[in-house]
Amino acid sequence: MRLKGYIARSVLSATAAVLAVLVGLDALSALIDEMRDIDGDYQFPQILTYVGLTLPRRIHEFVPFAALIGALVGLGRLASSSELVVVRAAGVSLPALARIVLRPALLVALLGFLVGEFLAPITEQAAISERALAQRSASSFTGREGTWNREGNTYLHVAAVQRGGLIFGVTLLTFNDEYQLQQTLRAERGTFLQDHWLLEDVVRTRLTPEQTFTDSATTWRWDTRVTPELLALEAVDNESLPLRQLWPYAQYLAEQGLSSGDVELAFWRKLLQPLAVAGLVVVAMSFIFGPLRDGNMGARIFAGVIVGVVFRIAQDFFGPASLIFGFPALVAAAAPIAVCWILGFWLLTRKQ
């Protein structure tokens, strides 16, 4: 038990340190990028708030790569001090050692999954909403951020979505069956009231072959199936949505005749992330007992970065390829993970 705990602490501490560095560098890069957009109400305090609220999403994204490099660093330190040699001499086989290392890796994967499932969706939506509100003028219908939706022949654009059923900068475009624009409606804000939206400061324009008609209203009732929950889903990237909402969202898009392949891909990637973490750790172990057994820490970190980059490139290749060529999203999500497991076990077995 002491041996298991010692190895687990070494791997966990290295993984936590690597995760902190990766997330910190990514957040710093995002902070610098956002400072280019300073204007109006979007100032440095708002930028700090936005980047801070996106930290849970960044943690979830970097968990697999932190586990890979952390395992290389943690096991590498034990190998450099010949402690792994002592462990092997004590009769611990490679499969048994692999099980010991995989336990803290799976713990990290579980923590990352919980952050991505319960915390990141809430903070990411709040971050995007606050930034969108700060970047849009108080008298403008448009903004740099926003989300689109479609219901039948009506297309909806919302500049900002807030929790609690509030939307800002609403634009409705209604077409006929020949895709000719029939009506536009703009509202400064909208509030969801049980089964309908109450739009405020409305300007409506109706188009006919002969002329156009424009009228305005203080409030306007909008009956629709579009709910605040649905707009909240569309306001953030698919990778930031929780599993419990991704699949129903994909079914809704399919019912509306819209493409749902990217949502299904995000669902399978999030579901299979623990397997991805474990597979990358197996690859790290195969390196420690193989090509990097006598290497220094810099070589191990470099190898981990290269493997992580190749893994991400494979994900970015198979994902769009599944949308273009039509093969299942499950295959696109599972293929890079399967390659990691096969490669890692082959190298481990080869070195026994």
Quickly state the pLDDT bin for 139 (edges 50, 70, 90). Answer: very low
pLDDT in tens, 281-295: 988 888 887 655 555
**Residues 45 and 163 grouped into a single domain:** no
**Residues 122 and 205 grouped into a single domain:** no
241: which 2 tokens? Answer: 């949505």
Distance CA 227, CA 166 (A): 11
Place of tokens 């305090």: 45
Q: Is the pLDDT of residue 351 over 80?
A: no
Write down which residue in 174, 205, 224 finishes a domain. Answer: 224
Predicted local confidence at residue 112, as pLDDT: 93
Three-state DSSP class for residue 318: helix
Helix (H) or strand (E) holding 219: strand 212-222
Q: How many domains does the chain have?
A: 2
- How large is the average pLDDT for residues 68-74? 89
DSSP 159: E
Is residue 239 in some structural domain? Answer: no
Q: Which residue range forms the structural domain that includes residue 185?
A: 153-224
Note whether 238 and 266 are within 8 A (CB).
yes
Distance CA 301, CA 124 (A): 30
The CATH number of whichever domain residue 191 belongs to comes to 2.60.450.10
Is residue 114 in some structural domain? Answer: yes
Is residue 238 in some structural domain? Answer: no
pLDDT in tens, 9-58: 999 999 999 999 999 999 999 999 999 988 888 899 999 999 999 999 99
Q: Residues 336, 342, 347, 348: what is their CA dihedral angle, to the nearest 10 degrees?
A: 120
The per-residue b/e assignment along 206-234, b for 16 or more CB within 10 angstroms, e otherwise, is eeeeeeeeeeeeeebebebebebebbbbb
Q: What is the pTM of this model?
A: 0.84
